[in-house]
Structure 1
Amino acid sequence: MSVAIHINMELAFFVFLNFLHFGICGFINEGFAQYGVELSVFSGRSSPSWTVDRNNPLYPRIAARINRARSTRMSEKLGYSGFVVEMKNPFGQRVFKTVGAGTNPRLELLLLNSSPYPIERSVRRHVIDTVRRSVMYRRKSI
């Protein structure tokens, strides 16, 4: 009877190690199944938010950029302060990244354009103007 228990323990340990290996490697290699995007722009009402999944045509470009990007500080000014991106993999694990206003212009515009529904024209214009000003400011300082 002790031999059967020993074999079952070895089997359980083997299954556990495989779960850890494929779970962690799956998190890294499979990438994220979807991205929850929040446009942080309003202080008195809820900010627009949406999900970007593999069906979104911008998904591959967003995935490539957001996975390489570091979180950047959100702007403390009123109005557009950046994006909060929640990344979820197929196992339900979550990681949050922030993309502060004007810190990563290409990624910010990709995220803005990934919305499946129209964003208010004035809000959209405000975000684009903020990103454009940050690019112009960087060019002047070089």
Structure 2
Amino acid sequence: MTTTTAPAAPTTRDAQLKPARVAIAAAVALALNLAAYGIGTLAGASWTVSSPVGISWVGITATTLGTMAVGGLITWLLVRSWTKAPTWAAWGGLIFGLASMPMSFIAAADLTTGFGLASMHVIAALAWFFAVRPAKA
């Protein structure tokens, strides 16, 4: 008679937030946002917005990676005492990213820049959602 033991299932916290998924999603979002920047530039976007600093690949890189890192860190800290944090953070980030998308058109000096920035909001929101939401077992 052979007895086998199943490997221990990951804890609820471990199963809900994977830092590697956040890092991969951040890298994918950055690549897609930079592609959107390139496409917008080829389409004639001025990348001028109603702020003293214009849009550049450096700003896109810092904003994309920075928001994913800070959001991931906050979610990671929250999940230590609140196991539902990834679910709430995933939906909250998706809603925030999509709800802030119209601001791209308000702040942009031209429509092409507005569409480029709006697409970056959608990309980042979806990347965040799929990175942070709990995986199905």
Q: Mark the structure with the bigger radius of gyration.
A: 1
TM, length-normalised to structure 2: 0.28
TM, length-normalised to structure 1: 0.27
Greater fraction of residues in helix: 2
| Bigger relative contact order, structure 1 or 2 (CA pairs below 8 A, ≥6 apart) | 2
